[in-house]
Structure 1
Amino acid sequence: MSTYFRVDGGSNSITNYYMGQSGKEKDWSWDANVSRNLSGDFKDGDGITTPSSSKSTSTNFKITKKLSDKHELTATYDSYKADYKYTALWEPALKNGKVDNQNYKFILNSDFDGNTTNVLSFVNLDNDTDFNGYKTKTNTKRITDQLSTQLGNHLLTAGFEFSHDKVITFNGKKMMNRAFFLQDQFDITDQLKLTAGVRHDNNSGFGKHTTPSANLGYTFNNDRTNVYVSYSEYFIPPSPSNLYSAAYGNPNIKPETGNTKEIGINHKFDDTFVLSAHAFKRYSENRIGYVYPKYTNVGDEKARGWDIQLKKQFTPQFSTYVGYTHSVIDATAQRAKNVDGYVPKGAWDIGLDYDNKDFNASLIGKGVIDRMGPQSADAVDAFFPATTYFVWDASMNYNVNKNAKIYFKVNNIFDKFYAEHSNARYNWSADPDGQWWRAPGRSFLVGMEYAF
């Protein structure tokens, strides 16, 4: 049995407490933890203070009972409760919010003979939000069963899913979805593998939909290179929040359907150097999105893009990675290119890691390339304070002994002034400086963890 406690604090009135315990006794095992998180006003990279406050509590509990050599039952409970206030500089007063989300699940795992397994689960989700007086309360119940069996070169998976949604704050409005699925993972040869499947949904509000998928992959003889090509179709019914959120809901939304085509390669130059690259093309009908002041169908959408990642282990202690993603999303009937310019044309992920027994450190960089905002008739010159920028974070951990650890983090090291959201589109005649949802500037966090 292990019990652990963590406390940290730093800039922006941040204080966090975390306590947990995990253990095992005969046929029982468990993991439980609770955390309390507090934060306040923050300064952006321009030195301007944004009023903000948040008080949240998270509780998580998991317990597993081994029923026999073939079966085990797991129960989990998760809770998140929060009170928060926030504003943007253009708003006249703080907005208030409350969240009270709770869910529990039961999972029965069965392994009958080493070749046949089954996972049966029941999930209950209760979501209760209050957005500045707009209250939305929903309940979701879901039952899923998935049976897998190995038959020669085929791994067959079949199952069903039944979900029931109830919007309590919308006169108890109910929605149901029934789905059946089948998949075959076929090892044609040692190098060539085909995975194909089909899913059939029957939705109480949006009818029947069948969505196939297939993935063909080939691994070369040296086992260092794998290539694949895939095709999949999808059906996404509007969520209860999309339809009936008190603040943003729209009961007239249609389901989103579409397909995605993808190709990719994974190559290992040696045991220390790995490359991955992928390209995709997606077509969506009745794309679901947010257009002020509510969720809606933004129209048919075409998207395409590619990404590449490199990982290198220079020494046993030092490693690095770099990745780049390029996205092109065509304009729709209601949104400009790249989702009103919110999705950047390019994005970088860069990391450096050092791990030497009792001390480890990391440096992480996130780069945004050409987040332009809506390039349309109602666009403004300064929709965002920066359209291309990097934000760098760092952390260090030191194990004082086998029980105690201290750590230090700094976010936005170079105090970059940027924003990821903006109100400039709707108040284009006003000074755009006051229309940005400013992101936090440089901040620090120091903490300790003790286990016994």
Structure 2
Amino acid sequence: EETTAVAEHSEPKYVETVTTYDAPEPTAADFDEMSFELAPIVVTASRMEESILKAKADMSVVGREEIEQMHMDNVEEVLRTVPGVQFLDYGSNGLNANVSGIRINGSKDVVILVDGVRVNDFKGAGSSGYMFAALMNNMDNIERVEVMRGSAATMYGSGAKGGVINIITRRPEGAKTVIDIAKGSFGKEAYKFNTQAAKDKVSYNIYHDRTISGTSKDGSGKEWPGQSNTKSSGAKFEYKFNDANKLTLNYETIGSNFSGTDLVYGGHYVGMYDSNSVTLKHDWQINDQWSNSLMYRATKEKSSWDKPGGEDTDISEPITSNLEYKLYSDNFKYQTDRYTMVGGIEYSKGKDNTNHKETSNTSLFLQGDWELIPHVTLSGGIRHDRPDSYECHNSISYKLGWDITEKDTLYAGRSDYYILPSLTQLYDHKYGNADLRASEGRTTSIGYNHEFTPDNYMMLSWFETKSGVGMTMNSTTDKDDPNYGQYQNSIGGISRGWNAQYNARLSDAVTVKLGWAHLFYDEKDSFTQGYAPKDKATFGVYYDKDKFSAAFDGFYFIRDKRGMKEGVKGWPSDKYGVYNLALNYTADKQTKFYVKVDNIFNKLWAEHTDVIWSGGADSWYAMPGRSFVVGMQYTF
């Protein structure tokens, strides 16, 4: 017998059904199963959508809510909040405002994806893992950023030693246009435009951003002359033939001009960076179990850097590059209740137009997850690389996962990495080495995840990466040596450590994220000269209620001082914290005002130094001191 009553509550009204016969009560397992749906959904670990707690991988996610509340200007700001991620930037201006030296788990070899599509093939990490993360500034178009730490060569190919960064873009829903204007310290001006719409079979997203910056000051008040003008534009179009077939076209272009004065090595410098890319992708859901994705991506990049006054004897002519990359892939997915499989073929090609050199690679990969018995899963994968200038190579991975309870997951595995030299490492006119061998090694990892409540979970992981063959730069300080600064191979090396993170929603209005990363690094490169952190803590606190929201994030860095010269002050500080604050007020449905303060305690800090390389006292590239930004966002 059942009776139905209408409960009068605040809108919306709902219907309450009361059951009077003996029905089975929901079990704890039922609620546990539901709770996992509240953790972030990720796709990077297996190329399948799954809860981060069930992915059995060392992962972190920065979502849309955090990006909006903190008003993060670019991908670098997002990644600085992630455990195990470190940047090595040359200060704050000119070249320094455009190039980001990034490392994950101590490694400079990182793969960057946009919606699962690789965007840095054959670019390599160079000598210090530099990439243009700071130029990825269209944050209105980003839904979340997923970071998977550790080797992932079988799934994502060459370069995935330290980890994988997957930038997931937003899917247009309805019609909306956002205009964001901001002005702040150090001559900063930011103008952002984003419009999107979806109707019937067609959807689109179009954006244009412009950011200007000028001379900055570090925490001691010292001025660092420089200016930068960066523009980025893009358009994404989707057409659904039907519920099972979708075609996506994405075009992006970035241009930046910068100049400044190098206070460490002396002299005025000028530079530019320009890139454009187009991606065409077809997704086909064949049936409930099979799906296929066919993709083509082409990228062109140009850059230059010069000291026109001739102050630097190492630079006899402008440093320029003109590179092209192409990527073709055909991937499939197969999924049942107890078995999933992903695989495919990929062809990538790089071309150096300056030196008239080319390189290419064809890869076949297959990875599967089998539920051997209830709650126990075995994962395994293999990738076969056939580069044009190197011998064929097989990379393998395997992992065993155990869902101990509905709240506890344990996993352990091993994964190879394989890194082909970049075009720059091979053919740079001054430092290139066409005889470089590919780098290879493996990472062993153990992890444990625990869910305390549906909004409260913890993730712990331990890793050890052993290098067989590495790639670095010749460390001689004799500039007359013909091998000075040349890219070269190294043998051996090890890095190990652990990452911990805790995420909790303390109330409807407050969310907290805490992280801690510990690293022991003993590779054959300059990173051991005080650049590496021994420990690094990250945190974020987010508040959102009614018309007011606030965000407070930052990190605390503890330097690994092994290998540093005794009695030499190589850095402004070996232990330091950098903290940022953002306040937001939503006046109405269309208008939001915000204030952001970076480095609120005006800390003097640096991520690069010349002191330990026989430079003078205080000859480090200091990062910006306290800065303010005031902005308004209008949506219609």
- Check whether TM > 0.5: yes
What is aligned with 1:33? 207
For 1:218, give the aligned amino acid. W
SS at match of 1:4: strand
What is aligned with 1:351? 540
Asked if 2 retains the 8 angstrom alpha-carbon contact of 1:380 and 1:424, the reply is no
Return the alpha-carbon distance in structure 2 between the equivalents of residues 374 and 294 of structure 1. 22
Equivalent of 1:308 in 492, 497, 500: 500
The alignment status of 1:148 with 2:358, answered yes or no, reads no
SS at match of 1:242: helix
Q: CA deviation at 1:270?
A: 2.0
What is aligned with 2:412? 229
Equivalent of 1:281 in 455, 458, 464: 464
Return the alpha-carbon distance in structure 2 between the equivalents of residues 246 and 40 of structure 1. 32
Return the alpha-carbon distance in structure 2 between the equivalents of residues 290 and 125 of structure 1. 27
Asked if 2 retains the 8 angstrom alpha-carbon contact of 1:158 and 1:183, the reply is yes
What is aligned with 1:399? 586
How high is the TM-score relative to the length of structure 1? 0.94
- The C-alpha deviation readout for 1:49-91, integer Å capped at 9, x for no partner, is 0111100101121001112332111010111100011343223
What is aligned with 2:37? none
In structure 2, the CA distance between the partners of 1:331 and 1:25, relative to structure 1 (3 Å rule), is closer
Return the alpha-carbon distance in structure 2 between the equivalents of residues 197 and 27 of structure 1. 36
Equivalent of 1:238 in 400, 417, 421: 421
In structure 2, the CA distance between the partners of 1:410 and 1:152, relative to structure 1 (3 Å rule), is closer
Please, which runs of 5 or more residues in structure 1 have no aligned partner? none
For 2:388, give the aligned amino acid. S
Return the alpha-carbon distance in structure 1 between the equivalents of residues 539 and 285 of structure 2. 41
Return the alpha-carbon distance in structure 2 between the equivalents of residues 246 and 16 of structure 1. 37
For 1:260, give the aligned amino acid. T
For 1:406, give the aligned amino acid. F
Equivalent of 1:7 in 169, 177, 181: 181
What is aligned with 2:165? none
What is aligned with 1:19? 193
The alignment status of 1:101 with 2:275, answered yes or no, reads yes
SS at match of 1:188: strand
Return the alpha-carbon distance in structure 2 between the equivalents of residues 88 and 199 of structure 1. 44
- The C-alpha deviation readout for 1:397-445, integer Å capped at 9, x for no partner, is 22111111111110000000011001123334xx321x10011000001
Q: CA deviation at 1:189?
A: 3.1
Write out aligned runs for 1:128-147 (5 A).
Answer: 128-132=302-306, 133-147=318-332
Equivalent of 2:608 in 406, 421, 433: 421
Equivalent of 1:211 in 395, 412, 426: 395
Q: Identity of aligned pairs, percent? A: 27
What is aligned with 2:343? 158
SS at match of 1:123: strand
Q: CA deviation at 1:248?
A: 4.8
In structure 2, the CA distance between the partners of 1:215 and 1:135, relative to structure 1 (3 Å rule), is same
In structure 2, the CA distance between the partners of 1:245 and 1:397, relative to structure 1 (3 Å rule), is farther
Equivalent of 1:53 in 206, 223, 227: 227
What is aligned with 1:370? 559
- The C-alpha deviation readout for 1:32-59, integer Å capped at 9, x for no partner, is 1010110011000000001111001011
For 1:30, give the aligned amino acid. Y
- The C-alpha deviation readout for 1:315-353, integer Å capped at 9, x for no partner, is 211222221100001152xx36x5332111110002211
Determine which structure has greater relative contact order: mean sequence separation of CA pairs < 8 Å that are 6+ residues apart, divided by chain length. 2
Asked if 1 retains the 8 angstrom alpha-carbon contact of 2:568 and 2:612, the reply is no
Return the alpha-carbon distance in structure 2 between the equivalents of residues 245 and 403 of structure 1. 51
Return the alpha-carbon distance in structure 2 between the equivalents of residues 151 and 269 of structure 1. 29
Equivalent of 1:263 in 446, 457, 481: 446
Return the alpha-carbon distance in structure 1 between the equivalents of residues 433 and 184 of structure 2. 41
Return the alpha-carbon distance in structure 1 between the equivalents of residues 439 and 303 of structure 2. 25
Asked if 1 retains the 8 angstrom alpha-carbon contact of 2:548 and 2:584, the reply is yes
How high is the TM-score relative to the length of structure 2? 0.67
Return the alpha-carbon distance in structure 2 between the equivalents of residues 415 and 135 of structure 1. 36
Asked if 2 retains the 8 angstrom alpha-carbon contact of 1:135 and 1:246, the reply is no
Return the alpha-carbon distance in structure 1 between the equivalents of residues 628 and 471 of structure 2. 38
Asked if 1 retains the 8 angstrom alpha-carbon contact of 2:264 and 2:621, the reply is no
Return the alpha-carbon distance in structure 2 between the equivalents of residues 321 and 108 of structure 1. 36
Return the alpha-carbon distance in structure 1 between the equivalents of residues 569 and 604 of structure 2. 14
Q: CA deviation at 1:241?
A: 2.5
In structure 2, the CA distance between the partners of 1:394 and 1:294, relative to structure 1 (3 Å rule), is farther
Q: CA deviation at 1:157?
A: 1.8
In structure 2, the CA distance between the partners of 1:24 and 1:291, relative to structure 1 (3 Å rule), is farther
Q: Which moved more, 1:396-405 or 1:241-250?
A: 241-250
SS at match of 2:380: strand
Return the alpha-carbon distance in structure 1 between the equivalents of residues 562 and 259 of structure 2. 26
For 2:553, give the aligned amino acid. I
Return the alpha-carbon distance in structure 2 between the equivalents of residues 380 and 37 of structure 1. 42
Return the alpha-carbon distance in structure 2 between the equivalents of residues 114 and 64 of structure 1. 22
What is aligned with 2:626? 442
- The C-alpha deviation readout for 1:151-176, integer Å capped at 9, x for no partner, is 56221222010011110001x20101
SS at match of 2:508: coil
Return the alpha-carbon distance in structure 1 between the equivalents of residues 468 and 567 of structure 2. 29
Q: Greater strand percent: which structure?
A: 1
SS at match of 1:210: strand
Q: CA deviation at 1:291?
A: 5.3
Return the alpha-carbon distance in structure 2 between the equivalents of residues 92 and 153 of structure 1. 62
Please, which runs of 5 or more residues in structure 2 have no aligned partner? 1-174, 307-317, 476-484
SS at match of 1:345: strand
In structure 2, the CA distance between the partners of 1:8 and 1:186, relative to structure 1 (3 Å rule), is same
Return the alpha-carbon distance in structure 1 between the equivalents of residues 452 and 371 of structure 2. 25
Equivalent of 1:408 in 587, 595, 600: 595
Asked if 1 retains the 8 angstrom alpha-carbon contact of 2:216 and 2:624, the reply is yes
For 1:242, give the aligned amino acid. Q
What is aligned with 2:238? 64
